[in-house]
Amino acid sequence: MSYTVEVRIELKKGVIDAEGETVKKSLNLLGYRVEDVSTVRVYVIELEAESGEEAVGEINEACKRLLANPVIQNYRVTVK
């Protein structure tokens, strides 16, 4: 069966989000009153699996091996 899985990856609390800080600074320079900007990566992955649980398991493994850095990032996998 085909599954669509969404992976949301964000920095852990306390890790500096350099890209978010740059965007925040730029928006403030343009006159927008922005207090905070955080970056988030989202992957939408389509895969074949026997069940939704198997699909999530495979993508969790992919996150640990490639998609996310568990030292500085949290990730969440959701079947759509």
In terms of residue numbers, what domain contains 30?
A: 2-79
Beta strands 2-11 and 40-48: pairing type? Answer: antiparallel
**CATH number, position 8:** 3.30.1280.10
pLDDT digits (tens, 9 = 90+) for 15-53: 999 999 999 999 999 999 999 999 999 999 999 999 999
Cβ distance 42 to 60 under 8 Å? no
Spatial contact of 59 and 44, defined as CB atoms under 8 Å apart: no
- Domain count across the chain: 1
**Taking residues 3-22, what's their average pLDDT?**
97
pTM of the model as a whole: 0.86
